[in-house]
Chains A and B, each alone.
Chain A
Amino acid sequence: MSGYLGRRIAETVFLLWLMSFLIYALIGLMPGDPIDLMLSADPEITAEDAARLKALQGLDRPLIERYGFWLQGAVTGDFGYSRLYARPVVDVIGPRLVNTLILMGTSLVLALLLAIPAGIVAALYPRGLTDSTVNLLAFAGFSVPSFWLGLILIIVFAVQLGWLPAGGTAPVGSTDLLDRLRYLILPVLTLTLLAAGTFVRFVRAAMLEALREDFIRTARVKGLSRTAVVVRHAMPHAMLSLVTIVALNVGSLFSGSLVVETIFAYLGMGKLIYDSIMGNDYNLALAALLIATLVTLLANLVADIAYGWLDPRIDYGG
């Protein structure tokens, strides 16, 4: 187990490093560099000044050298300053990450609470009316354009009914928890509906498969009731594969979160990434993208470990 764990951690670190280089290189390909931005803001700067500034900031160096310099800072926790917020990148990201984790975590839990019973009921009566309805709703869940679902919810609950705010994180200056919750409802609802569809399909398929297993037949034959067989034997078996699916979906949950945050002006990581890329804030974009990657890679790592821990049949070897 420890050997496997070590290898997976090494793999995760390697992947993160690879992504940091790729993203660094890609961001260098975005239009304009920081000095070009200064030039456009201040007509008094001469070409010589610009060249001097570029040399001073190391922007005339080759890509590898600049990346090495950035990496040196990054491993000690120094990601530089944000251009948009004029504060250290780490200070900007902290609260945003908390907001996103609240949004993603709540939506994930709600989506599972919705998907698990629905998927199980659908699998118990395949091809029945319930199954067809659940299936259709699940298809709707993963086929609906995320931003459009958000817009429709705004039209219904904010424009027509006026029950909920159309966007934001909290009223200005308010720290009241109830106020914050009101602002969370629509973003969470959107993300939950988006995520639930995929989970329903997986729960249903996993349950159908579990119900075909020989040990289920054995349990039935030895006289256990239908309910007991489903709850005690089939469900744990089906839920096991769900662990992996949930982890694999953290990446797409993050993508959904980016859209939802942008629509509802919710101050999370997704909106931060979008704003920093649109605002040419390279230091911030780079660090935020890497944090997003780290979160999804960690989720997968944790799922792999949990899977081995939950399923005694799996032996990862020495």
Chain B
Amino acid sequence: MAADAEAPLTRVGRRPNATGQGPWRRFWRRFLWHRLAVLCAWLLLFLIVAVVVGPALGAAFGLDGQTVNLFDRMAPPGPGQPLGTDELGRDLLIRLMEGGRVSLLVGISGALLTAVIGTAIGLAAGYAGGRTDSFFMRLTDAVIALPLLPLLIVLAAIDVTKLGLPSAFAGDGWGSVYRIVVLVALFGWTTVARLVRAAVLSQKERDYIRAARALGAGPMRIALRHILPNIASPIIVATTLSIGNIMLAESVLSFLGLGIQPPLPSWGNMLTNAQEIIWQAPALAIWPGALLFATVIACNILGDGLQDALDPRGDLRH
């Protein structure tokens, strides 16, 4: 890799020299170098605080996102309703914050579940090798190649009570949140699994693993105590990147009426009716999507910045 810096056709920009510092110090300097990623981290933090605190603050002022007021539909912004009202006369700003709470919750918990499943499969495939490995990799290839959205639609449309699951999963409101999280994780694990497998393969034959094995550590202990901590960076990066993708998947399903069920708002289902009234109230179609767009792009840029900062090879920026 030393030759990379002298690649003849590329002009590689200067980045802070990172030698002679501890790994954490180096991580921070590299991360700050990626200013846009820092900006995105702040944006995400702001959004999270806003959607957590906002609705509570609104309630203190006697505003909520559920009260329907049919005499005040699609009102323009004005005093007491900074962004106006939606097609049922509900306050748009409060609803955006409540919807964001659901969307971000689905994104983050879905990403965590995805990371757990993907890590387990990646560790098993990479460490066990042989038949287990080729089975899981074939499965991964198949899942990646499939047209996911049509399949997600089928899965979202099935009646889970026929599977013997409690009707809590079938119901409206929070039941639909659990369902969506499980559904997206069911298909979302492939990226993490591939990365983890590749990382495990690169670690597996190193001396410290041989030493642990020689000292009598079992496969579970080696995988969890020795390999896992050493492959944390790709897992962190992939999890950050998958938050955005999961939020997109949730929003599409909710938009199509198969995800989060109203009256519980999400940025996706707030757009379901927006298309019909796009001529009267285009603002209702703009706001939820703009916030979703900002959140997803922030997650993706943050993930990219983390990758830059955590990648020990440093100069390679994919």
Contacts and interface: CB of A to CB of B under 8 A. Distances in A.
Interface of A: 15, 19, 23, 26-27, 29-31, 123-128, 136, 139-140, 142-148, 151-152, 154-155, 159, 166, 201, 205, 208, 211-212, 216-217, 220, 226, 229-230, 234, 248, 251-252, 254-256, 258-259, 262-263, 270, 273-274, 277-278, 285, 289, 292-293, 295-297, 300
B293 A148 contact: yes
A292 B316 CA distance: 37
A126 B7 CA distance: 12
A136 B298 CA distance: 11
Given A126-B13, A148-B289, A152-B289, A220 B275 contact: no
Contacts of B290: 148
B163 A29 contact: yes
Interface stretch (B45-53, B154-162, B231-239): B154-162
Contacts, number: 171
Given A128-B11, A155-B278, A255-B148, 10 more contacts: A30-B158, A123-B10, A143-B299, A145-B268, A151-B285, A208-B318, A217-B8, A277-B154, A289-B150, A296-B146
B274 A145 contact: no
A89 to B, nearest CB: 16
A127 B150 contact: no
B4 interface: yes
Interface in B249-294: 251-252, 255-257, 268, 271, 274-275, 278-279, 282, 285-286, 288-290, 292-293
B12 A127 contact: yes
Nearest to A11: B138
B100 interface: no
B126 to A, nearest CB: 21
B244 interface: yes
Contacts of B215: none
Interface of B: 3-4, 7-13, 36, 142, 144-151, 153-155, 157-160, 162-163, 244, 248, 251-252, 255-257, 268, 271, 274-275, 278-279, 282, 285-286, 288-290, 292-293, 296-297, 299-301, 304, 316-318
A143 B147 CA distance: 18
Contact of A139 (B158, B257, B300): B300
Nearest to B11: A125
B151 to A, nearest CB: 7
A132 to B, nearest CB: 8
Nearest 3 CB-CB pairings of A with B: A148-B289, A255-B149, A127-B13
A106 to B, nearest CB: 18
Grouping DSSP codes into helix (H, G, I), strand (E, B) and loop, the B interface class, with mixed when no group exceeds half, is: helix
Contacts of A152: 285-286, 289
Contacts of B304: 139
Contacts of A296: 145-147
Given A143-B293, A292-B150, A159 B279 contact: yes
Contacts of A201: 318
20 contacts: A26-B155, A27-B154, A29-B162, A30-B158, A30-B159, A127-B317, A128-B13, A139-B297, A140-B297, A146-B248, A148-B271, A151-B274, A208-B316, A208-B318, A212-B10, A254-B147, A254-B149, A258-B153, A278-B157, A285-B154
Contact of B282 (A124, A140, A144, A155): A155
A27 B160 CA distance: 12
Contact of A30 (B4, B10, B36, B157): B157
Contacts of A254: 147, 149-150
Contacts of A293: 146-147
A251 B255 contact: no
Nearest to A258: B149
Nearest to B284: A151
B158 A211 contact: no
Nearest to B251: A145
B276 to A, nearest CB: 11
Given A226-B9, A251-B146, A259-B252, A277 B300 contact: no
B271 A259 contact: no
A230 B157 contact: no
Given A216-B9, A254-B150, A145 B162 contact: no
Nearest to B161: A31
A49 to B, nearest CB: 23
B147 A251 contact: yes
Given A126-B317, A251-B144, A211 B9 contact: yes
Contacts of B160: 29
Nearest to B295: A143
B316 to A, nearest CB: 8
Contact of A292 (B3, B147, B162, B244): B147
Contacts of A140: 293, 297
A252 B148 contact: yes
B9 A220 contact: yes
B149 A248 contact: no
B255 A147 contact: yes
